[in-house]
């Protein structure tokens, strides 16, 4: 960073010497803010306002249809003291994050490594592996998943071949959340693509040199691939964690919006949605949303703090 | 969309010559003297074809009137409607659900229609009961689009093959359990049960309570049953489950309140419970020919069933031309030419005259629904008191607890007690 | 040297052919798991509705009919082709906006020094954390005030202001992987930040730009909630809104039509993927990546 500042300074000396702090500030920061401008405009004009309004609403009893009344911290107090559904939703969501994120990333990385190698038909494989992710949020997913994981579904048909009689995975409260984890892993296309792009960025001569030195593939993976891919792994980890915390559609589509059976798939945002739009408590839903922001922010900040130990940047 | 946007739209439009692309909203309606109506409703493509045909006819009959109609499925409908209403852009003409009507009416989002009665809205022949069922606190908030009853749907041939009498109107709850047990012992197909598990069905629970002189809710908005009642309800179905007369808990838990997830459609039961207006959608997804009758009764008990609107057409309290909206409601639910186009898709028309008028056009399946309503009419009881705020949430609690009982996480008695406790807490909060 | 990474089959094993057979077998097995549900959907689009949800239905329909494709395409007030055109226009414009705006902003975060950089970066990440359900109504009011309701603007214009932090963060991570010596050398030669962005950063970032373009296109194509809230006229519908028009959980749904049109709706994004993945894989980035 210091080198960069030095360059800025040297550039400064080339042009006419600016006078006063304002000019200096513009000189130092002008380019940065010019490039940042699109986002700044979007942030202040489109994003910030609605976010602040929802923050305000979290201190009201807004019911969607009549004017909100200020109720102080009542919503937050209720969440902390008197809402078993909130506790249930937190548990379901944490379990989902803890399971789906590592599994999905590991799967995506493994497949990306395989697909990065030279072999026949690579584009076709890649496309097929991405296909599930194309289905995204389709309502058809609900039907498809039932075909797989109901008591008479494909999974049980296969288990029956080896003599096991499986339960109705998708509608049994002990297993239903895991079928959603499987769904999340099945749609591993996005992190896979990002890993592939990251693998492309690793200079090939490093592998060549390592091969010449007689390094084993495992060693090459640990010494070259992992460190050089670490910014991308970090990115995928942060993004997938945020997305998993906010996951809504899978549970909404598969449980028919109920989060059932017995709240076993009551994702946090699904609960929030029910409160807002089924039970007319947008004020409470807003408070739920801001608590989620705080939870995710803590996780993210913590992830960033760990980067200095394992993420390798070129700068 | 609406006139307040026109100024801004013109501003935008000045700089952008992209008139052919829909970047600039719908073309502003210029012929304003006869009015413009924005209409929103839920449904699928089949209902869309019927509704659009009726709207076209309404526009023909009212030259100069423009109607902008939008629709979507039930799952997406309420978030979109709430956003529009809260965003100050409420549609004039709103399709309402029985339960949501109370929420919207009590919060002042839809308006009373009494002033149009007998004028724009000539629906006196619906009968008092069908007007009351669309009223909140004594004021009329919607035009009844279709009469609905809770019903038992079954595959008659499957019952015949088992050599057991299929459910009939007037069958008692005990008789129902016995017949299901007889079916079970005669049944040879694996994974097929006599009936779905009805413990999660609020409509069925309500009928059961009413036959015993109880209700879901009292007129003062408190709970109309106690923990023992709810416990007995869950116990009835626990017995059914133990006898293998109804589907196991994990099969019932697949049911998401939609026809394609119901046990009779997925082939795990030969009997199920549904609102009568869903009968046709069940039939569409099942190869066997289905029949429909009323729910079981209590011997010597009170009439449990009642006719409630499957849905109603309401008018937003911010509509600039509520009289025109009322006229359109009348056209769709009472004018023969409009109501005929809607058919039976939203329920059986409340007006006897309309019912007569559409009979000849009906399919065999539709006719069964009309016959059901006609056969039930002599046996119906009074309209129950209107559900209080929070009733929707209590419905969800019943579903959850029925699953807890079904998966044997709690006993039926415990389930009954916690249903009453949680319901009371919800009512207190609302 | 560009293609060296995927041309080292001999590196891993002494029996390349056996290894390759093994790998293909495994991949094909995984592929089947991947596409089974899609095959099921395809078969669902071809069979009678009454056969869809009964338990015993396998992959092979008892009778095959293309009826659902015809009914789906022409069954709504507006035929489905219109939705494809609409979605295509929206997705292309949104993709251009996303890639353009996000790459500019990401360049600022990755390479330029300015006061408040860390704060802005944290806020940018923060915008990803708030569930959209609670900002829906204020945003609706905002867009209504702007006259954007029932237009495509809410689905397109925000992308030109980089409101989707995902793309910024993605590009920041990749830009930071580009050796700094390259742009520092250019800077010594008197290149402006704009020239460095255009002549060094962008050309070296083809894989990530292609990635962003793929995601941007596909996610816009699949976006359902935005169109649901902002588009009411059927002539303006996107494919996703059209698909949902077949389904009403409270009543009669046309499942065959849904499956048929879902299959068709996968075709354009599948083609887009195939096209862009070539950019992604044949990206020239590696050539400049020596250090």
pLDDT at A21: 78
In chain C, which ranges are continuous DSSP H helix?
16-46, 67-74, 80-111, 117-126, 136-145, 153-156, 165-175, 180-188, 193-196, 202-204, 206-222, 225-230, 239-244, 255-281
Measured between alpha carbons, how far is C207 from C211 in angstroms, rounded to an integer?
6
Higher pLDDT among residues A127 and B321, named by residue: B321
Q: Is residue A103 part of a domain?
A: yes
3-state secondary structure of B316: strand
d(CA C162, CA C160): 6
Task: Name the H helices within B170-308.
Answer: 173-186, 202-211, 227-242, 249-252, 263-266, 279-284
Q: Is C252 at the interface with chain B, CB within 8 A? A: yes
Structurally, at CATH architecture level, domain C79-288 sits in Orthogonal Bundle (1.10)
**DSSP-H helix ranges across B191-226:** 202-211
**B393, B375 Cβ separation under 8 angstroms:** no
Same domain, yes or no, for A40 and A98? no
Distance of CA A289 to the CA centre of its chain: 16
Is there a contact between C252 and B9 if contact means CB atoms under 8 Å apart? Answer: no
Widest Cα–Cα separation across chain B: 77
B297 within 8 A of B304, measured Cβ to Cβ: yes
Residues 6+ apart with CB under 8 A from B143: B113, B121, B123, B134, B312, B313, B314, B329, B330, B332, B333, B334
As a whole number, mean pLDDT of residues B174-195 equals 92
* Residue A65 included in any domain: no
How far apart (Å, rounded) are the C-alpha atoms in residues B176 and B167? Answer: 7
Residues A28 and A127 in one domain: no
pLDDT, residue C57, reads 57
pTM above 0.80, yes or no: yes
How many other CB atoms sit within 10 Å of the CB of residue B229?
18
Q: Are B301 and B204 in contact (CB under 8 A)?
A: no
- How many CA atoms within 13 Å lie on the side-chain side of A231? 21
Residue A177's domain comprises 78-310
Specify the domain boundaries for CATH 1.10.3720.10 within chain C: 79-288
What SS3 state is found at C132? Answer: helix
CA dihedral B248, B254, B258, B264 (to 10 degrees): -40
Q: What does the pLDDT look like over B280-309, one tens digit per residue?
A: 889 988 989 999 999 999 888 888 899 889
Block residue for tokens 């006609």? B374
Query: Do A100 and A241 share a structural domain?
Result: yes
**Cβ distance of A122 and C184 shorter than 8 Å:** no
More confident site: C287 or A89: A89
Q: What is the mean pLDDT of residues B153-158?
A: 94
Distance CA A275, CA C190 (A): 58
> Is A64 within a domain?
no
> Are residue A203 and residue A281 in the same domain, yes or no?
yes
Q: What is the per-residue pLDDT for C16?
A: 65
Q: Is residue A238 part of a domain?
A: yes
Which DSSP string do the residues of A200-215 spell out, in sequence order? HTS-HHHHHHHHHTT-
Question: Region B193-219: what's the mean pLDDT?
Answer: 94
Q: CA quadruple B330, B336, B339, B342: dihedral positive or negative? A: negative
Check pLDDT > 90 for residue B399. yes
Same domain, A153 and A286: yes
CA distance C58 to C44: 10
pLDDT at C234 over 70: yes
Q: CA dist B134 to A244, B131, B246, B274, Å?
A: 43, 5, 35, 21
Q: Mean pLDDT for chain B?
A: 88
Q: Do A172 and B396 touch (CB under 8 A)?
A: no
- A48 shares its domain with A87: no
**Are A186 and A102 members of one domain?**
yes
Instruction: Please tell me the distance from the alpha carbon of residue B68 to that of residue B375, in angstroms, as a whole number.
Output: 38
- Model confidence pLDDT, tens digit, residues A61-81: 999 999 999 999 999 999 999
pLDDT above 70: residue B193? yes
- Please check whether residues A1 and A112 belong to one and the same domain: no
How far apart are the CA of C124 and the nearest CA of chain A, in angstroms?
8
Q: In 3-state terms, what secondary structure has residue A62?
A: coil
How far apart (Å, rounded) are the C-alpha atoms in residues B166 and B180?
9
Minimum CA–CA partner of C237 in chain B: B22
Note which residues in 242-281 of chain C have CB less than 8 A from chain A: 243-244, 247, 249, 255, 258-259, 262, 266, 269-270, 273-274, 277-278, 280-281
Share of chain B above pLDDT 70, in %: 92
In terms of C-beta density within 10 A (0-12 exposed, 13-18 middle, 19 or more buried), how is residue A2 classed? Answer: exposed
Q: How many angstroms separate the CA of residue C180 from the nearest CA in chain B?
A: 42
How many domains are there within chain A?
2
CA distance linking residue B103 with residue B106, whole number of Å: 6
Distance separating alpha carbons of residues B160 and A104, to the nearest angstrom: 51
* Residues A10 and A124 reside in one and the same domain: no
Q: Are A311 and A231 in contact (CB under 8 A)?
A: yes
Q: Find residue B314's DSSP bridge partners.
A: B94
Which residues in C lie closer than 8 A to residue A135 (C-beta atoms)?
37-38, 262, 266
Domain-embedded: residue A25:
yes
Residues of A in contact with C277 (CB under 8 A): 123, 126-127, 193
Q: Which of A171, A257, A276 is closest, CB to CB, to B254?
A: A171
Contact C130, C220 (CB under 8 A): no
CB contact under 8 A, C142 and A49: yes
Q: Report helix, strand or coil for B328.
A: helix
Measured distance CA(B406)–CA(B422) in Å, rounded: 18
Instruction: Report CB contact under 8 Å: C151, B23.
Output: yes
A248, containing H or E segment: none
Within 10 A of B214 (CB to CB), how many other CB atoms are there? 16
Mean predicted confidence (pLDDT) in C61-86: 89
pLDDT at residue number C61: 79
Name every chain C residue with its beta carbon within 8 A of the beta carbon of B26. 150, 233
In this prediction, residues C225-253 reach a mean pLDDT of 88
Closest by CA position to B314, among listed B98, B149, B137: B98
pLDDT one-digit tens code per residue, A148-202: 888 888 888 888 888 888 888 999 999 999 999 999 999 998 999 899 888 887 8
Tokens encoding A264 = 């076993």
- CATH number of the domain within which A218 lies: 1.10.3720.10
- A173 interaction partners in chain B (CB closer than 8 Å): 253, 403, 407
- Is residue C163 within 8 A of residue C127, CB to CB? The reply is yes
User: Residue A20, by phi and psi: left (phi above 0), alpha (psi -120 to 50) or beta?
Assistant: left
pLDDT in tens, C15-33: 667 777 887 888 888 888 8
Selected residue with higher pLDDT from B19 and B341: B341
Scanning the structure block, which residue is given the tokens 């591993």?
A: A188
Whether C90 shows a pLDDT value over 80: the answer reads yes
Q: CA B318, CA B316: separation in Å to the nearest integer?
A: 5
pLDDT at A13 over 60: no
B302 is written with which tokens? 């009170």
A33 lies in the same domain as A115: no
pLDDT value of residue B34? 72
For residue C263, what is the nearest residue in chain A, using CA coordinates?
Answer: A135
Secondary structure letter of residue C284 according to DSSP = G
Task: Give C 13-72 residues with CB within 8 A of chain B.
Answer: 49-56
Nearest to C197 by CA among C217, C222, C171: C171
B342 CA to chain A: closest CA distance, Å? 27
| Residue B27 backbone phi and psi in degrees, to 5 | -60, 130
H-run or E-run covering A44: none
Region of poorest pLDDT, from B89-98, B354-363, C79-88: B354-363
Position C177 pLDDT exceeds 70: yes
The Cα–Cα gap between A15 and B220 comes to: 82
Look at residue A68 in the predicted model and tell me its pLDDT.
92
Do residues B281 and C251 touch, judged by C-beta distance below 8 A?
Answer: yes
Instruction: Tell me what the mean pLDDT of segment C40-60 comes to.
Output: 79
Residue A68 lies in a domain: no
Task: Give the span between the Cα atoms of A191 and C206, in whole angstroms.
Answer: 17
Does residue A114 sit in the same domain as residue A51? no
Tell me how many residue pairs between chain B and chain C have CB atoms under 8 A apart: 154
d(CA A39, CA B68): 36
Domains and CATH numbers, chain B: 25-146+310-367 (3.40.190.10), 150-305+389-429 (3.40.190.10)
pLDDT for residue B404 is more than 90 = yes
pLDDT surpassing 50 at residue A3: no
CA C24 to chain centre: 27
Ranking A39-48, A150-159, C46-55, C182-191 by mean pLDDT, the lowest is C46-55
Q: Radius of gyration over alpha carbons of chain C, in Å?
A: 24
In a domain, A63, yes or no: no
**Do both A290 and A198 map to the same domain?**
yes
User: How many C-beta neighbours within 10 Å does residue C70 have?
Assistant: 12
Mean pLDDT confidence for A223-242: 92
């Amino acid at each position: 960073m210091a080198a960069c500042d030095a360059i800025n300074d040297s550039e400064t000396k080339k042009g006419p010497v600016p006078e006063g702090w304002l000019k200096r500030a513009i000189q130092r920061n002008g380019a940065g803010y010019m490039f940042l401008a699109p986002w700044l405009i979007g942030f202040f004009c489109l994003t910030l306002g609605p976010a602040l309004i929802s923050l305000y609403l979290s201190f009201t009893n807004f019911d969607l249809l009549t004017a909100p009344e200020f109720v102080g911290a009542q919503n937050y107090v209720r969440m902390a003291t008197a809402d078993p559904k909130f506790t249930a939703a937190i548990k379901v969501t944490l379990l989902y994050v803890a399971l789906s994120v590592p599994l999905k990333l590991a799967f995506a990385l493994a497949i990306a490594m395989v697909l990065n190698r030279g072999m026949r038909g690579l584009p076709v494989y890649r496309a097929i592996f991405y296909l599930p992710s194309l289905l995204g949020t389709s309502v058809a997913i609900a039907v498809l998943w039932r075909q797989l994981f109901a008591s008479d579904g494909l999974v049980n048909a296969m288990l029956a071949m080896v003599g096991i009689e499986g339960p109705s995975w998708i509608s049994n409260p002990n297993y239903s959340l895991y079928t959603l984890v499987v769904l999340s892993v099945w749609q591993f296309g996005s992190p896979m693509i990002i890993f592939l792009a990251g693998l492309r960025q690793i200079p090939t001569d490093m592998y060549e040199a390592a091969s010449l030195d007689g390094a084993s593939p495992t060693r090459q993976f640990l010494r070259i691939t992992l460190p050089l891919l670490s910014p991308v792994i970090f990115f995928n980890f942060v993004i997938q964690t945020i997305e998993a915390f906010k996951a809504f559609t899978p549970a909404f589509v598969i449980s028919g919006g109920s989060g059932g059976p017995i709240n076993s798939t009551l994702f946090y945002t699904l609960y929030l949605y029910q409160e807002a739009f089924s039970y007319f408590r947008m004020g409470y839903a807003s408070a739920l949303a801001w608590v989620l922001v705080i939870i995710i922010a803590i996780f993210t900040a913590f992830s960033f703090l760990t980067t200095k130990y394992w993420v390798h940047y070129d700068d | 969309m609406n006139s307040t946007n026109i100024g801004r739209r013109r501003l935008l439009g000045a700089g952008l010559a992209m008139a052919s692309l829909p970047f600039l909203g719908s073309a502003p309606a210029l012929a304003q003297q006869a009015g413009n109506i924005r209409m929103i409703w839920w449904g699928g493509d089949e209902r869309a074809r019927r509704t659009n045909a009726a709207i076209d006819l309404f526009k023909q009959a009212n030259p100069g009137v423009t109607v902008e109609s939008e629709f979507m499925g039930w799952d997406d409908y309420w978030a979109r409607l709430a956003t529009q209403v809260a965003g100050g852009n409420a549609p004039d003409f709103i399709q309402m659900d029985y339960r949501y009507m109370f929420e919207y009416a009590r919060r002042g989002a839809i308006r009373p229609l009494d002033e149009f009665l007998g004028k724009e809205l000539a629906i006196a022949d619906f009968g008092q009961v069908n007007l009351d069922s669309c009223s909140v606190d004594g004021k009329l908030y919607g035009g009844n689009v279709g009469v609905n009853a809770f019903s038992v749907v079954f595959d008659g041939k499957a019952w015949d093959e088992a050599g057991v009498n299929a459910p009939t109107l007037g069958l008692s709850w005990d008789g129902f359990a016995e017949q299901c047990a007889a079916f079970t012992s005669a049944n040879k197909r694996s994974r097929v049960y006599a009936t779905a598990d009805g413990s999660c069905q609020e409509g069925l629970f309500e009928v059961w309570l009413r036959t015993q002189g109880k209700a879901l809710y009292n007129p003062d908005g408190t709970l109309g049953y106690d923990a023992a009642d709810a416990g007995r309800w869950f116990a009835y179905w626990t017995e059914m489950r133990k006898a293998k007369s109804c589907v196991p808990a994990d099969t019932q838990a697949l049911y998401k309140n939609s026809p394609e997830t119901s046990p009779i459609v997925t082939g795990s039961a030969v009997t199920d419970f549904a609102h009568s207006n869903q009968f046709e959608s069940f039939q569409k997804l099942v190869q066997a020919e289905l029949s429909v009758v009323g729910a079981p009764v209590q011997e010597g008990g009170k009439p449990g069933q009642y006719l409630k609107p499957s849905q109603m057409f309401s008018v937003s309290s911010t509509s600039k031309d509520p009289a025109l909206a009322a006229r359109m409601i009348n056209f769709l639910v009472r004018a023969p030419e409009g109501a005929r186009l809607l058919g039976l898709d939203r329920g059986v028309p409340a007006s006897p005259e309309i019912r007569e008028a559409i009979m000849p056009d009906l399919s065999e399946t539709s006719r069964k629904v009309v016959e059901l309503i006609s056969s039930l009419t002599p046996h119906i009881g009074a309209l129950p008191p209107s559900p209080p705020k929070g009733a929707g949430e209590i419905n969800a609690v019943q579903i959850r607890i029925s699953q807890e009982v079904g998966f044997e996480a709690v006993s039926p008695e415990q389930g009954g007690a916690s249903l009453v406790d949680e319901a009371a807490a919800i009512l207190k909060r609302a | 040297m560009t293609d060296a990474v995927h041309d080292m089959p001999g590196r891993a094993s002494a029996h390349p052919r056996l290894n390759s057979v093994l790998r293909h077998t495994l991949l094909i097995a995984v592929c089947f798991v991947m596409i089974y549900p899609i095959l099921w959907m395809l078969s669902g689009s071809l069979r009678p509705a009454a056969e869809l949800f009964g338990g015993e239905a396998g992959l092979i329909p008892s009778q095959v009919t293309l009826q659902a494709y015809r009914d789906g395409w022409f069954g709504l007030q507006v035929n489905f082709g219109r939705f494809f055109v609409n979605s295509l226009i929206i997705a292309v414009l949104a993709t251009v906006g996303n890639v353009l705006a996000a790459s500019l902003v990401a360049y600022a975060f990755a390479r330029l020094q300015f006061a408040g950089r860390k704060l802005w970066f944290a806020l940018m990440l923060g915008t990803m954390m708030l569930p959209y359900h609670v900002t829906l109504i204020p945003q609706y009011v905002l867009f209504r005030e702007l006259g954007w309701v029932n237009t495509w603007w809410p689905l397109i214009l925000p992308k030109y202001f980089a409101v989707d932090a995902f793309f910024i963060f993605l590009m920041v991570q990749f830009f930071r992987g580009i050796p700094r010596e390259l742009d520092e050398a250019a800077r010594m030669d008197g290149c402006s930040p704009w020239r460095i962005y255009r002549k060094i950063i962008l050309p070296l970032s083809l894989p990530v730009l292609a990635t962003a373009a793929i995601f941007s296109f596909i996610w816009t194509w699949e976006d359902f909630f935005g169109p649901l809230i902002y588009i009411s006229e059927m002539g303006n519908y996107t494919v996703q809104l059209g698909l949902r028009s077949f389904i009403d959980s409270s009543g009669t749904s046309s499942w065959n039509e849904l499956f048929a049109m879902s299959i068709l709706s996968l075709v354009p994004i599948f083609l887009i993927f195939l096209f862009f993945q070539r950019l992604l894989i044949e990206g020239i980035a590696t050539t400049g990546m020596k250090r």
